[in-house]
Amino acid sequence: MKFLESAPRFLFFTGKGGVGKTSIACATAIQLAEAGRRVLLVSTDPASNVGQVLGIEIGNKITAVPAVPRLIALEIDAEAAAQAYRDRIVGPVRGKLPDAVVKGIEEQLSGACTTEIAAFDEFTALLTDAEITLAYDHVVFDTAPTGHTIRLLQLPVAWSGFLEAGKGDASCLGPLAGLEKQRAQYNAAVQALADGQRTRLILVARAQNSALREAARTHGELAAIGLTRQFLIVNGLLPKEEAAVDPLAAAIYAREQAALAAMPNVLRALPRDDVPLKPFNLVGLDALRQLLAETTPQLETAGWEPVDLRAPSLSDLVDDIAVEGHGLVMLMGKGGVGKTTLAAAVAVELARRGLPVHLTTSDPAAHLAETLHGSMAHLTVSRIDPHAETERYRQEVLKTKGAHLDTQGRALLEEDLRSPCTEEIAVFQAFSRIIREAGEKFVVMDTAPTGHTLLLLDATGAYHREVARMLDAKGAHYTTPMMQLQDSKRTKVLLVTLAETTPVLEAANLQADLRRAGIEPWAWVINNSVAAARPHAPLLRKRAQNELAEVEKVATAHARRYAVVPLLQEEPVGVDRLLKLAAPITEPA
């Protein structure tokens, strides 16, 4: 593997959920340790499953892995670190400031930015403490900090005064108000990250257009701040021999090869390793030792029974959605799970039934026109340009809050406005104009804001509280977009995930986030299910078996109602193929 050649002391693995970075990080640590190196494996992922993957209990303490001499593991408890971090900031002002102000501060500190910064606050010690780092030949990190977090840490120290003066917007500057460690430690950590002799960053992706685009964005963001020593791993590639025995496998193989052929140019220049798809769950040391192996043992398929997944279909959900005749349908989920495609599938199925539908998206890579590849009666389509909306919002804030700032204050405000929250707030404002239509027709919305962003909008008075304040005083009846999202009769939120461990964990975290905002997800949709496709190729049949436990987890532990959408042989492009996604799962012959 290229990424392991002359490996430096620090190895960082990064990539979006579900691409397999935890498994690869664990396999790397095992391989290095079994080659005689002293290795510390560190996870900074809030949904860390390193202990589960290794088959031992780890937690927030340095723990030896008994079966692998020289391997030590640590799961930084990012949520506990974030809570302690929040307590340090909110504790001194509780009881001294009005409750509404304290609530606003708490919500500012409740999002992913706080968790990430608190985790970075914890693991900078591992990068800068000579005693710790010199005790190990390699420190392997599962989940690297984002470019946005590192840029924030590079800015001048002026967070508290900046926020107290009311100059910041609802985003990531709040979490930074609590940084208490010496600035020199952060500078040393950033220097270590940017030093190619000490640090190697490995981007992990799947052979999917969306995953490769995400990897290209991450590459550019990190390279812009000096983290240029990067490698690429394309994980989970279907072996060519599988394609010879199953039409579904042949279609997947062709799709993956096409995605690799269309890979963004910035990724082509990186050293690259391909890791083939394995038939087994990547849990336990035996499985992890095989992950980076050049060959996979032959599958024994004698006596295998076909996978018979009996689950509700997307058609069943659409039946219940259609009853009202109108309403807002929001599809939420992490990137790469297929929200755009499923939003289009729900919209065309409702339109096929003669119901009026407005399908809208803010995903810059969605290309809804290409996905639909045509038009149909009762369906209108729109696309919100997130870049244009964000720029409009950014200029509005700079014109108002930034008008009288000095150079340093304006730099802080501009960095705050680069936060992911800024785009979600700006896009939500644009969505709000469309939401009103849901009283007369169906509005199907792709790429919705997260629960944290919705709470920020509420807590900061960006829309909901301002309207409520004005109209409550007049005794007027009103419904804000936030109130509509919280009304289960008007809004149905569908959480989209895959039948894999990490995407299910991430969807569960999103559900908890939404519930804090008073929004109860209506249903879960498990997309691209191999089990629902009933494959014949040995490797895919084994993968299908592995999915059943995750489907059961969604059905019994997470969702009030759910549906499973099969992986199709053909890309779901065009109205006819989209309608197939909403078709009932046929009984096996």
Catalytic residue among 15, 17, 18, 236: 18
Residue corresponding to tokens 């109130």: 483
Q: Judging by beta carbons within 10 Å of its beta carbon (0-12, 13-18, 19+), is residue 423 exposed, middle or buried?
A: buried
DSSP symbol at 2 = G
Catalytic residue among 15, 16, 17, 23: 23
Q: How many CB atoms lie within 10 A of CB 269?
A: 11
Distance, CA of 30 to CA of 502 (rounded, Å): 21
Separation of first and last alpha carbons in the chain: 44
Active site annotation includes 129: no
Residue type, 494: L
Active site residue 20: yes
Contacts of 533 (CB under 8 A, 6+ apart): 248, 544, 566, 567, 568
On whether the CB atoms of residues 42 and 230 are closer than 8 A, the answer is: no
Establish whether 422 is a catalytic residue: no
Residues 6+ apart with CB under 8 A from 362: 383, 384, 385, 386, 389, 427, 430, 431, 446, 447
Count CA atoms closer than 13 A to 377's CA, side-chain side.
Answer: 4
- Which residue in 502, 513, 529, 542 is the catalytic one? 502
Catalytic, 375? Answer no
DSSP one-letter code for 178: T
Long-range contacts of 397-404 (CB under 8 A, 24+ apart): 397/169, 401/166, 401/167, 401/168, 401/169, 402/167
Q: Is 518 a catalytic residue?
A: no
Can 21 be counted among the known catalytic residues? yes
Measured torsion, CA atoms of residues 383, 387, 390, 395, in degrees rounded to the nearest 10: -130
Q: Spot the catalytic one: 45, 77, 142, 169.
A: 45
Q: Which of 14, 16, 17, 21 is catalytic?
A: 21
Exactly one of 15, 17, 20, 402 is catalytic; which is it? 20
Assess whether 18 carries a catalytic annotation: yes
**Relative orientation angle of helices 314-322 and 339-352, to the nearest 10 degrees:** 50
Give the phi and the psi of residue 141 in degrees, each rounded to 5: -105, 125
Given the residues 15, 16, 22, 128, the one annotated as active site: 22
Token reading at 476: 């007027």
The total number of residues written for the chain in this structure:
589
Catalytic residues: 18, 20-23, 45, 502
